[in-house]
Chains A and B, each alone.
Chain A
Amino acid sequence: MRSGFLLVALFSIVALSLIIIFLFLEGIPILEHVSLKEFLFGQYWYPTDDPADFGILPLILGSIYVTVISGMIAIPLGVMTAIYLAQIAPATVSQIVKPIVELLASMPSVVIGFFGMVVVAPFIQQLFNIPVGLNMFNASLMLAFMAVPTICSISEDAVFSVPTALKEASLALGATHFETLVRVIVPASLSGICTAIILGLSRAVGETMVVLMAAGGAAMIPTSIFDPVRPLPASIAAEMAEAPFRSEHYHALFAIGIVLFVFTFLFNLLADHISYKFRQVGEASL
């Protein structure tokens, strides 16, 4: 019985391996047409031109900028909400806020992208007097609300599991609740919070529909926050339909998939490493 279950459990590894294998199988052939350096650092992405240009630097930069900006919004929002829920909220408030965060988490990405496209875009277009509302800023804003629930729930677990004894020790010395939070509780849960942030950002990097619909779709290196961009996942989704099977373009899109996968793989490895190595602080041992 045991070996039967073991075999099934191995399925996840098999699936992951297959994903990696097929990504590489269909993506590596692009290197017959461009060198790795040209691919990763080339500034021009014109896959349908003749001759085609397969430089994905604008796409990579688009992903990086959008992730960083959404992080700047999502990290404070997520961590602050987590601290509030774990340490300050009375039970009644907690019972309302937690479901709100969970509902935000189950909001489908296409709906958030749709909202960004249809409601936020005209709004910021007017507000900031810019030519087009589908841009890096819009996408970052929408992505932030996809990352917040992840960051919040993992951080909340981390803050919640700091032993009460530490909180009591601080208060008994005449510290305020807030000082206790800042000087004792948050530092003690820092590794969990870092893991939360990394996983949240990883989600933002890999998110497709939001950036597909709200980021503007211009595969160019942005110069302002209101420029349209086309992060990696959006490029794949947008162009897959028009790429003839096993053409250069097709292989190039799979190669973008490899780059994307490597990004998120490294993020997750980092998060795993941090949570393993700097394990949560426990009470004093005797």
Chain B
Amino acid sequence: MDSPVKMHTKDLNFFYGDFQAIHNVSIDFTQNQVTALIGPSGCGKSTYLRCLNRMNDLIPGIRVTGKAVLDDQDIYDPSLDVVTLRRRVGMVFQKPNPFPKTIFENVAYGLKVNGVKDKAVITRVVEKSLKQAAIWDEVKDRLNESALGLSGGQQQRLCIARALAVDPEVLLMDEPASALDPIATQKIEELIDQLSSKLTIIIVTHNMQQAARVSDRTAFFYMGKLIEVNDTDTLFTKPELKQTEDYITGRFG
């Protein structure tokens, strides 16, 4: 466990107006590891995830206290540029949301927005990202077709390619396979495994078996609180708290 901590939160609290959704959550996310966030519906794991790239800022009336740190930068520091943060901390959403553009344009989007103009560079990065997302072979002959013509599983891998194209350091995945069929899900899980050697991945999932399969560490959330966090093997075989054990064995869900 000599790898540095890439991101961590310390006593993070999150409020929707008066309602407190996240209570004093502190987690370390080690570099190049996959951490899974599990817990029943509505326990706050997605809200917590969206704090890490400040996507919650889009909601009016929210408040955050405590710290969330990327490398050694407090990401809620007022002087921090949110736009750059979101490039460094990428996100894949629950429902695939490709732009109504061509496959090529989708992946190139992040590059163009960041000022990359060299066509050769763009083409190269697009190809590399599509390969990283394990979808290159399926789309290499139809890069100029609309992304909306792809199947659900393909669209999600396209969204992953799109996120990878801007070379993020952390990838947040919010239930990325929950809307997909089992075969597409398997492909996504294989992808996570490959990507984790270069990226720090934090994945929210309501599927415990998936968490057990893909992650190195797992954090169990309940009612906005962090109940337990540990190496995945340990959490699933020898949970420390009864609450964790009850959830894992399906006594509630």
Contact = CB atoms under 8 A, between A and B. Distances in A.
Asked whether any CB of A lies within 8 Å of a CB of B in the complex, the reply is yes
A80 B90 CA distance: 31
B47 to A, nearest CB: 14
A172 B109 CA distance: 12
B16 interface: no
Nearest to B184: A286
Given A173-B166, A174-B114, A168 B93 contact: yes
Which among A172, A187, A285 has the highest number of chain B CB atoms within 10 Å?
A: A172
A50 interface: no
Contacts of B53: 172
Interface in B142-192: 147-148, 151-152, 155, 159, 162-163, 166, 179-180
B97 A173 contact: no
A91 B85 CA distance: 27
Contact of A174 (B113, B147, B151, B152): B113
Nearest to A285: B148
Contact of B93 (A90, A169, A176, A187): A169
Interface residue SS majority, chain A:
helix
23 contacts: A163-B97, A166-B97, A166-B99, A168-B58, A169-B93, A170-B113, A171-B58, A171-B86, A172-B55, A172-B86, A172-B93, A173-B87, A173-B90, A173-B163, A174-B110, A175-B109, A183-B112, A284-B147, A286-B96, A286-B151, A286-B152, A286-B155, A286-B179
Among B60, B90, B101, B113, which residue has the most Cβ atoms of chain A within 10 A? B113
Given A172-B90, A173-B109, A175-B113, A283 B97 contact: yes
B97 A179 contact: no
A282 to B, nearest CB: 9
Contacts of B113: 170, 173-176, 179, 183
Interface string B108-135: 0110111000000000000000000000
A184 interface: yes
A281 interface: yes
A170 to B, nearest CB: 7
Nearest to A179: B113
A174 B86 contact: yes
Interface string A151-168: 000000000000101101
Given A175-B113, A285-B148, A188 B100 contact: yes
Contacts of B148: 284-285
A224 B2 CA distance: 78
Contacts of A284: 95-98, 147-148, 152, 155
B97 A174 contact: no
B60 to A, nearest CB: 8
Contacts of B162: 169, 173
Interface of B: 53, 55, 58, 60, 83-88, 90-91, 93, 95-101, 109-110, 112-114, 147-148, 151-152, 155, 159, 162-163, 166, 179-180
Given A169-B98, A171-B55, A283-B95, 13 more contacts: A91-B60, A169-B93, A169-B97, A170-B99, A170-B109, A172-B93, A172-B163, A173-B90, A173-B163, A174-B110, A183-B113, A187-B100, A188-B100
Contacts of B159: 169
Interface in A165-216: 165-166, 168-176, 179, 183-184, 187-188
B193 to A, nearest CB: 23
Contacts of B60: 90-91
Given A168-B55, A168-B93, A174 B87 contact: yes
B93 A184 contact: no
Contacts of B101: 187
B116 to A, nearest CB: 12
Contacts of A183: 109, 112-113
B100 A165 contact: no
B103 to A, nearest CB: 12
B83 A174 contact: yes
A143 B71 CA distance: 58
A176 B84 CA distance: 9
B95 A174 contact: no
Q: Which of A163, A169, A283, A285 has the most CB of B within 10 A?
A: A169
